[in-house]
Amino acid sequence: TRHNKSECTKPRIFKGACRICNKEGHPAAECPEKAPDVCKNCKMEGHKTMDCKENRRFDLNHIPDKLPEEAWAILKKASDERDLEDFREGLKVYSKSLPQATFVDIENKLREEDLNFYLIALDKEVNDCISLIDLQGKLNCTYVVGFFYSPKPQRANLRERWPSSVEENLERLADAGLPYDRQVPKCNNCGALGHTSRGCKEEREERERVGV
């Protein structure tokens, strides 16, 4: 019977040559000569990114190498000038110079030196393509770190998400991170993580065509 490609019940037959070995009969994804997959999260071989529970390994090659004192001076200058963008960049430099420094450590040091920026751990719902990751690479943190000029919420929409005290903020910062892409594809057809719509085995959803 006549039917279109999305309604076909027979398995798709691959036609053409594999782009890895140039032999016919299989796609590149099934090639026996394919190199092992490298996890996009921890950069190790042997498992899929979706299954990885290791800490994120950040690419820090583009971030300048500084001594911790030099990196902290960047943060102090950004604080004096109330320059949020420079503060964000300085935080990356400081974190590279002192990889073990946590958000709690940095917030405590900001308060000791009376700088103009505050690290606040906020309630935040993120979609399933995003993970909140701390400076040491821990995945799936509960709270998101925000950078603010005041320890009190300045906007009404932040009040419900704001910690109730300095102590609660520090507790939250121990389980807080910044939003990063999970590096795992999401299917536009079935909505599941781990594959794209091209490799989806679920029935194709018919998209309604809107007439103009």
pLDDT tens profile 139-197: 999 999 999 999 999 999 999 999 999 999 999 999 999 999 987 777 776 766 666 66
Q: Could you tell me which of 14, 149, 177 has the C-alpha nearest to residue 83?
A: 149
CB atoms within 10 A of CB 182: 22
pLDDT digits (tens, 9 = 90+) for 69-92: 999 999 999 999 999 999 999 999
Predicted local confidence at residue 193, as pLDDT: 66
Residue 199 scores a pLDDT above 70: no
More confident residue, 118 or 46: 118
Predicted local confidence at residue 53, as pLDDT: 86
For 81, phi then psi, to 5°, come to -90, 0
Q: 33: pLDDT confidence band, cut at 50, 70 and 90?
A: confident
Q: Chain-wide mean pLDDT for the chain?
A: 87
Highest mean pLDDT, choosing among 26-35, 43-52, 53-62, 103-112: 103-112
For 50, phi then psi, to 5°, come to -60, -30
Predicted local confidence at residue 212, as pLDDT: 47
Domain ranges in the chain are 14-54, 68-181
Tokens 């018919």, residue? 206
Tokens 């940095």, residue? 106
Pick the CATH number of 14-54 from 3.30.70, 3.10.310, 4.10.60, 3.30.420: 4.10.60
Predicted local confidence at residue 195, as pLDDT: 65
d(CA 86, CA 89): 5
121 bridge partner residues: 145
